[in-house]
Amino acid sequence: MNIGICLDRHDFLYDIHSLVKSFFPEDEVSIFTADDGEKRAVERDLLIEVDIPLSGDRKGTKDRLKREIYETLSAYTGETLPWGTLSGIRPCKIPMKMLSEGRDRAEILLYMQDHYLVSEEKASLALRVAEREAELLETISPIGDTYSLYINVPFCPSICLYCTFSSSPVSAWSPHIDGYISCVVAEMEEKAAELEREGRGRKPVTAYIGGGTPTALTAEQLERLLSETRRIWDFGGIREFTVEAGRPDSITAEKLSVLLKYGVTRISVNPQTMNDETLRLIGRLHTREDTVRAFRLAREAGFDNINMDMILGLPGEGEAEVRRTLDEITALAPDSLTVHSLAVKRASRLRKTIREDREIDIDADRDSFGGLVFRNSGALMDMSAEAAESMGMKPYYLYRQKNMKGNLENTGFALPGRECLYNIIIMEEVQTIFAFGAGASTKYVYPDGRIERTVSPKDVKTWLERRK
């Protein structure tokens, strides 16, 4: 479908685009103004003309406009969205702010449902998450004076078909990885010296090595990266040190002992699914067996905070497959579980690739794209939440992706005390994060709440050239 929304002036084009995409993630959506003759002349399947209300402040105007468009699209499609008119990726910011203003639960729930048309269930989820976040953030005080670190290792054993992280295959980059580590180390040294000059010191509150797959590095490379990180920064006040091991096929006993030696407190062993056929389809080189082996190895090595990630909406995966994954994860008893929904854009690309590859034959009836993901993803989410809660976990952070039909969310569940502070910090944007490596995004949070970002080039070659 080709959908056009014509506004009478230039404000809010981006916000409206995100909202309309939540109803029509796979369709062409164009938001333009009445004076754009070229776009007005295009023939469309659906054209909505809206006058932006003139009264009130900017935020009030935006909220009213979004509501008007939401109601029009809801009547047209016969659908409602669980997150209502909220199109941003951080819905918990609203209850967080209201909690900090001393508002009570009932008032917050009512406001989210009335003002943003959020469903009762999602309003309650957002509030539960915000309450837990607030509790945990209170333990870092005063948070504005502190900072965290992120180190990006953008290499993986193979590239998953749905990947949007600009990761590169480790085999192709192996001759350059030592050089990459040297550049990351130099970048950290510069920043640490700068912070010392400014009187902010070298003491991060949390540190997170992600990617990519940090354990795609060899044990020696990992040791060098970790030992240099510990040399440069003072971990005296560290609350948590995460290494997102991620891909089970990259985890070895030797690498786990390196992580422990340098004080890593939390790792991820990510199955995404426990079904081998799906793993093959999505381009991950590991099997269910590898996940079980890597998880047990990590437990035996002594890790007492292990996260597992899973994805809903993978090709061919319905209730039975998700149930199997949840049962197997439950049997392993991780300390936290992060449940992702595959965003439609990525799903479309994945589906296209699968369909174009004649060697891969998937049963159309079992193809979840365009069917299951759209109609049942809420039910699969509920099933995952029940499994997490049955393991004693509670939701503690959530975010949404753009272009996700049904407007769903990714949710992190954890046992009490096993939450990842870094995940909360990044979602709620309450603390400065200094980030290092290709594609890393440093976020400065100023005392007045202002936020500034600087992003380094995603392309490893370009980043390395700039660092030299």
Nearer to ligand SF4, 132 or 284 (CB): 284
Give the closest residue to 305 by CA, choosing from 422, 433, 149, 400: 422
The span of 134-142, 155-163, 339-347, 398-406 binding ligand SF4 (CB under 6 A) equals: 155-163
Radius of gyration of the chain (CA): 23
156 lines the binding site for ligand SF4 (CB under 6 A): yes
Distance of CA 205 to the CA centre of its chain: 21
Q: Provide CB contacts within 8 A for 246, sequence distance 6+.
A: 156, 211, 212, 213, 214, 215, 268, 269, 270, 309
Tokens 């130099």 -> residue: 186
Nearer to ligand SF4, 212 or 334 (CB): 212
Nearer to ligand SF4, 343 or 391 (CB): 343
Nearer to ligand SF4, 91 or 246 (CB): 246
The span of 39-47, 68-76, 207-215, 368-376 binding ligand SF4 (CB under 6 A) equals: 207-215
The span of 92-100, 121-129, 206-214, 374-382 binding ligand SF4 (CB under 6 A) equals: 206-214
**Stretch 81-120 residues interacting with ligand SF4 (CB under 6 A):** none
Least Å distance, CB 455 to ligand SF4, is 17
List the beta bridge partners of residue 412.
338, 397
Q: Are strands 240-246 and 206-211 parallel, antiparallel or unpaired?
A: parallel
Least Å distance, CB 42 to ligand SF4, is 36
Nearer to ligand SF4, 46 or 163 (CB): 163
Nearer to ligand SF4, 213 or 338 (CB): 213
209 lines the binding site for ligand SF4 (CB under 6 A): no
CA distances from 44 to 1, 28, 39 (A): 8, 10, 10
Nearer to ligand SF4, 221 or 431 (CB): 221
Residue 199, SS3 per DSSP: coil
Using CB under 6 A, which of 160, 181, 294, 380 touches ligand SF4? 160
308 lines the binding site for ligand SF4 (CB under 6 A): no
395 lines the binding site for ligand SF4 (CB under 6 A): no
Distance of CA 209 to the CA centre of its chain: 15
Burial letters 115-129, b for 16+ CB under 10 A, else e: ebbbbeebbbbbbbb
132 lines the binding site for ligand SF4 (CB under 6 A): no
Q: Sort residue 212 into left (φ over 0), alpha (ψ -120 to 50) or beta.
A: left
**Stretch 245-264 residues interacting with ligand SF4 (CB under 6 A):** 246-247
Least Å distance, CB 161 to ligand SF4, is 9
Nearer to ligand SF4, 204 or 210 (CB): 210
Q: What angle do CA 453, 458, 165 make, to 5 degrees?
A: 95
- Judge contact between 377 and 408, C-beta under 8 A: yes
Please write down the HEC assignment for all residues of 376-425: HHHHHHHHHHHHHHHCCCEEEEEEECCCCHHHCEEEEEECCCCCCHHHHH
Single-letter amino acid, residue 58: R
Quick one: tokens of 50?
Answer: 């809206």
The span of 136-144, 157-165, 335-343, 455-463 binding ligand SF4 (CB under 6 A) equals: 157-165
Quick one: tokens of 235?
Answer: 């971990």
212 lines the binding site for ligand SF4 (CB under 6 A): yes
Q: Provide CB contacts within 8 A for 418, sequence distance 6+.
A: 266, 305, 335, 336
Nearer to ligand SF4, 52 or 159 (CB): 159
159 lines the binding site for ligand SF4 (CB under 6 A): yes
281 lines the binding site for ligand SF4 (CB under 6 A): no
Quick one: tokens of 190?
Answer: 């510069």
Q: How many residues bind ligand SF4 (CB under 6 A)?
A: 11
- DSSP assignment of 139-185, as one string? TSTTGGG-EEEEEEE-EESS--TT--S--EEHHHHGGGHHHHHHHHH
Nearer to ligand SF4, 159 or 383 (CB): 159
The span of 71-79, 208-216, 407-415, 430-438 binding ligand SF4 (CB under 6 A) equals: 208-216
**What mask of x and - would describe binding to ligand SF4 in positions 162 to 201, judged by CB under 6 A?**
-x-x-x----------------------------------
Nearer to ligand SF4, 146 or 291 (CB): 291
Indicate the burial class of 363 (C-beta count within 10 angstroms; 0-12, 13-18, 19 or more).
Answer: exposed
Least Å distance, CB 19 to ligand SF4, is 27
List the beta bridge partners of residue 3.
29, 46
268 lines the binding site for ligand SF4 (CB under 6 A): no
Least Å distance, CB 272 to ligand SF4, is 8
213 lines the binding site for ligand SF4 (CB under 6 A): yes
Distance CA 368, CA 317 (A): 6
Return residues touching ligand SF4 (CB under 6 A): 156, 159-160, 163, 165, 167, 211-213, 246-247
